[in-house]
């Protein structure tokens, strides 16, 4: 592997360098597949137990009716997906679901609402949810759309551990996915979250018609934040009837694994999460992703409004691979 190490020494950022360049990231991405995975696994082992995977559970606390027009989303009011809008779930119901998730082995609990941004009338209930779920001993995460600084300060003061706000894709390709908010809007929310003392959960979606370079550029943006996200979800598009991306061509499995590996190399201390799309992945593809450095998954048979592998399927896969929950 000496030849590969020499190549990496040339293409990767020098120690102390503040930023990843597009050229350095692309050079890594285009390494021979075995070399890329070897490097990613080597880095992964220096930061994490390679046979432990974090189990997270995601609950949709408010479904549908979102005014954003994200082309992949079944919950947008712009798309005819047949999904009815709901009110914000009662705190007691959220806590009951969180307790079941904890008892099922989850250590991280994520709550998502289909909003452009939270309304003032909802903030008290949201804050109450954070405190009640944390009291169960779970790590907490929320995704509620854009946040201004006052909103992020309230969530931070309530003890929210993570806030999820994905950038989805590269800045170049972003206007092809969403027109109701800008790429800069996404980054502003991430900065508010960071300034309020919370950890950042931010990743993207692969298979929306973007080019390979867009996927690499997405990771360059994330790795070059003042502090890289502590959690990086990598989603594979689930095409949903009635959305503009319903007919999008699926991403090739090897290309998906390459991005997981690159995320691990560029953000070595972050949790890299296999998120949406696992139901369409073979066991072998998931195994490659774990080898490439993915160490977190969502469990449960539903992921917001889309399907997800059932718990029994995950237990069987973990047993076959010798993996244990964190």
pLDDT, tens digit (0-9, with 9 covering 90-100), for 245-268: 888 999 999 999 999 999 999 999
pLDDT in tens, 300-324: 655 445 555 677 888 899 999 999 9
Could you give the CA distance from residue 141 to residue 163 in angstroms, rounded to a whole number? 5
Lowest-pLDDT range, 83-92, 201-210, 223-232, 272-281?
83-92
The SS3 call for residue 121 is helix
Is-contact 107 54, C-beta < 8 A?
yes
- Cα dihedral value 155, 157, 162, 164, nearest 10: 20
| Mean pLDDT of the 177-194 span | 95
pLDDT in tens, 57-69: 889 998 877 888 8
- Predicted confidence band at 45 (pLDDT cuts at 50, 70, 90)? very high
According to the model, what pLDDT value does residue 75 have? 80
Phi, psi (rounded to 5 degrees) for 303: -125, 100
Nearest to 61 by CA among 34, 89, 101: 89
Is-contact 264 44, C-beta < 8 A?
yes
Residue 254 parent element (H or E):
helix 253-266
According to the model, what pLDDT value does residue 40 have? 98
According to the model, what pLDDT value does residue 71 have? 83
* Residue 83 scores a pLDDT above 80: no
According to the model, what pLDDT value does residue 301 have? 57
pLDDT in tens, 124-152: 999 999 999 999 999 999 999 999 999 99
pLDDT in tens, 152-170: 999 999 999 999 999 999 9
Is-contact 251 204, C-beta < 8 A?
no
Q: Report the mean per-residue pLDDT for the chain.
A: 89
Is-contact 102 109, C-beta < 8 A?
yes
According to the model, what pLDDT value does residue 18 have? 52
Which of the residues are catalytic? 66, 70, 73, 110, 141, 201, 273
pLDDT in tens, 3-23: 444 445 434 555 555 589 999
């Amino acid at each position: 592997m000496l030849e590969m190490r020499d190549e990496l020494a040339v293409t990767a950022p020098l120690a102390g360098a503040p930023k990843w360049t597009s050229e350095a990231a692309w050079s890594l991405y285009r390494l021979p597949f075995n070399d890329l995975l070897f490097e990613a696994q080597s880095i992964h082992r220096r930061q994490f137990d390679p046979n432990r995977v974090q189990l997270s559970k995601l609950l949709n606390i408010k479904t549908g009716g979102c005014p954003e027009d994200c082309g992949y989303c079944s919950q947008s009011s712009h798309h005819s997906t047949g999904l009815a809008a709901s009110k914000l779930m009662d705190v007691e119901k959220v806590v009951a679901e969180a307790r079941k998730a904890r008892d099922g082995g989850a250590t991280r609990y994520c709550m998502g609402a289909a909003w452009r941004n939270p309304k003032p009338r909802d903030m008290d209930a949201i804050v109450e949810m954070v405190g009640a779920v944390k009291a169960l001993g779970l790590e907490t995460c929320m995704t509620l759309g854009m946040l201004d600084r006052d909103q992020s300060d309230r969530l931070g003061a309530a003890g929210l551990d993570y806030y999820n706000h994905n950038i989805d894709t590269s800045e170049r390709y972003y206007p092809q996915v969403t027109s109701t908010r800008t790429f800069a809007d996404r980054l502003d929310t991430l900065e508010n979250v960071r300034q309020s003392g919370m950890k950042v959960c931010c990743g993207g979606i692969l298979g929306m018609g973007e080019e390979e370079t867009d996927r690499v550029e997405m990771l360059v943006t994330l790795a070059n934040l003042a502090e890289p996200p502590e959690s990086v979800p990598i989603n594979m598009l689930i095409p949903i009837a009635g959305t503009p991306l319903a007919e999008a061509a699926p991403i090739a499995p090897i290309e998906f694994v390459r991005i997981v590996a690159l995320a691990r190399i560029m953000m070595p201390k972050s949790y890299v999460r296999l998120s949406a799309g696992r139901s369409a992945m073979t066991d072998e593809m998931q195994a490659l992703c774990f080898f490439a450095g993915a160490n977190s998954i969502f469990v449960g048979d539903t992921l917001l409004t889309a399907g997800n592998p059932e718990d029994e399927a995950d237990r069987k896969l973990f047993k076959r691979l010798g993996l244990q929950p964190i």
